[in-house]
Chains A and B, each alone.
Chain A
Amino acid sequence: MGLIFLRTAIIFISLLAVMRLMGKRQIGEMQPFEFVITLLIAELACIPMADISIPLLYGIASIVTIFFLHQLLLLFDLKWKPFKTLVGGKPSIVINKDGIDISQLKKNHLDLSDLIESMRSAGYFSLDEVAYALYESSGQFTAMPREDSPKENKVSLPVVIIDDGKFDEKNLALTKTGRAYFQDILQAQKVRSVRSVFVLTLDGTGKVYLQCRGERYRSFRVRLPEGSSW
């Protein structure tokens, strides 16, 4: 039992560390330690149940160990805040008043498409609709709408034209525009190179959301080319 206790504890701590290192993408609606427990309990219950050569007591001892560790983590979680941050992580503000916080996205192993997907799930289709957006330590996405959020008729979905310095050819074709059209826009906005653009989105009303690396986002309107609708 002593060995099982130690081995279970080692596996538990290793899994917890790995889950924390993987970032919020892997968790989804659970605290990292809850996720680890869910992963382990199912296996621990299954192995002695199916393999009759293993005494049932081994499974029970492992499950009691998991319960013990869970209760211990809960206690530390309530009583010692730094421990809570260490084990559970802390919320990451990925959108603030300056736009997308690229470093926070990277820290959580997320990219622009993950952020846009989360925003759509939360009911926001344009990046400038929210003042703050954050990923909770459980991986859940929360957004606070901007007070002056543009209440306009949404005629079409804003599409990503430039993602992390690269044109999205599929969306260029969808919007019936071309690289040259956006390069002119970038020039007008005094953006030297497309590689310095982290994100550029365009919607059906001609509204552009542009954010360059290390800069505040800009939102402006452009005249869409003839026949451009989606």
Chain B
Amino acid sequence: MVKTLASILASFALLVSAAIFEHWYVGSTFETFGAALETLEAKVRDEAATREDAEAVRTLWEADKKNLHAVIPHNDISQVDYWLGEAVSCIETQTYPDALSRLEVLETICRQIPLTYRITFENIF
């Protein structure tokens, strides 16, 4: 009986803490990454962005990516990788209008991914 109660409490605590951590971690990671993308976007709008700026955003993403693999589907990460690669390439070739559209896609992804982890009706069903 005590063992059953202990296992119920332990498993529930584990699940709740994992859920809270996931919610916080995914939210904060994409918030930071989104903020970096917005800064880069502002520079692209001013046509002042350089490859170094884009690489700095990529380095930030690469650092977070490793841990994110444990909590979000790898396909979502691949999508960010793809669009970020495109954006870096456009910035390097100074095709700023194209870079802007790529960054817009990335920002949308950054807003969407944390939303898919919220406990809402549409996500549950």
Write the residues of chain A forming the contact surface with B, with a CB cutoff of 8 angstroms.
1-3, 5-7, 10, 52-57, 61, 64-65, 67-68, 71-72, 74-75, 78
Contacts and interface: CB of A to CB of B under 8 A. Distances in A.
B124 A1 contact: no
A71 B7 CA distance: 7
Given A55-B69, A55-B72, A71-B7, A2 B12 contact: no
Chain A interface helix/strand/loop/mixed: helix
Given A2-B22, A68-B8, A75-B5, 10 more contacts: A1-B15, A2-B119, A5-B19, A6-B124, A7-B124, A10-B124, A55-B72, A64-B14, A65-B11, A68-B15
Interface in B1-24: 1, 4-5, 7-8, 11-12, 14-15, 18-19, 21-23
Given A3-B124, A74-B4, A78-B1, A53 B18 contact: no
A74 B1 CA distance: 10
B83 interface: no
B65 to A, nearest CB: 13
Interface of B: 1, 4-5, 7-8, 11-12, 14-15, 18-19, 21-23, 69-75, 117, 119, 123-124
A94 B36 CA distance: 71
A193 to B, nearest CB: 52
B15 A61 contact: yes
Contacts of B19: 1-2, 5
A204 to B, nearest CB: 55
28 contacts: A1-B19, A1-B22, A2-B117, A2-B119, A3-B117, A3-B119, A3-B124, A5-B19, A6-B124, A53-B74, A53-B75, A54-B74, A55-B69, A55-B73, A56-B70, A57-B70, A57-B71, A64-B14, A64-B15, A65-B11, A67-B7, A67-B11, A68-B11, A68-B15, A71-B11, A72-B8, A75-B5, A75-B8
